[in-house]
Amino acid sequence: MPFSTSSENASSPAGPPAPGLGQQPDVSRAGTDPDFFVRQAFAKDPTQGCALLFRQYYRDLCSHAVRFVYGRDVAEDIVGEVFLTFWRTRAYENITSSYRAYLFRAVRNRAIDYLRAEFGPIESLPDSLDELTATTGYDQPDRIIFLDELVQQIGAAVQTLPPQAQRVFMMSRFEGKSQADIAAELQLTPKTVENHLTRALGRLRKALRGEWLVLILAYGPGLYLLSRYFTPTNG
């Protein structure tokens, strides 16, 4: 489909020019601009453009988001919302960076929003950095590096958990199992499972240096959806 679209545009000079793109340079730029076909698709039908981006980035974005939030459903929700916002706000119309940079930045920001909603403010990530980002349209290098360091801290926090606590945590966050199910499967008492989860979340909180009680993360996905509903955020 995108191939036929682009060739039509290139061969028919009478066709309406896509916004911001001249007719002739398109062809020459198709080789160097990875977003060329996607842009063409968006000009023709935004839904089709979204479909292309979805196929191209969804998996990788989820894989990236999960490094922050350590939860399958949460990660997929975050990426899904980024795409929804992208479509609803028609962000694709006036995007200045590449689609890839936009999507990855949006996913990282949303993951941070999630962590803030769950754990409270992240001390070492002052809001001023966010503001700068919002005004310039590009990330401050400090912020990018901070986010990558945060990912490493979170990963380390989970990795240093005792093996059993780690297993309980993963089953809870990735297999969507209830505490009772985990207790039955690992032949532990429900109290032990609860303790493991509490400890794991405590480690995460330490990694984030947040101040809020972490128990809520145990009921996180529901609360997260609620918080999404109540706090307007940019994608």
Which positions lie near another protein, rule CB under 8 A? Answer: 47, 50-51, 54-55, 57-64, 66-67, 72, 75-76, 79-80, 83-85, 87-89, 97-98, 100-101, 104-105, 138-139, 141-142, 144-145, 148-149, 152, 155, 229-230, 232
Minimum Å distance from CB 15 to another protein?
Answer: 27
Paired tokens of 205: 């909180």
| CA distances from residue 1 to 45, 48, 111, 185 in whole angstroms, order as listed | 12, 10, 33, 49
Pick between residue 39 and residue 193 the one whose CB is nearest to another protein: 39
Alpha-carbon span 144 to 154, nearest angstrom:
16
Pick between residue 55 and residue 219 the one whose CB is nearest to another protein: 55
Of residues 193, 235, 213, the one with CA closest to residue 118: 213
Minimum Å distance from CB 110 to another protein?
Answer: 14
Of residues 35, 21, 27, 33, the one with CA closest to residue 8: 27
Paired tokens of 179: 């505490």
Pick between residue 81 and residue 193 the one whose CB is nearest to another protein: 81
Of residues 70, 80, 76, the one with CA closest to residue 173: 70
Minimum Å distance from CB 61 to another protein?
Answer: 8
Pick between residue 10 and residue 51 the one whose CB is nearest to another protein: 51
Minimum Å distance from CB 138 to another protein?
Answer: 5
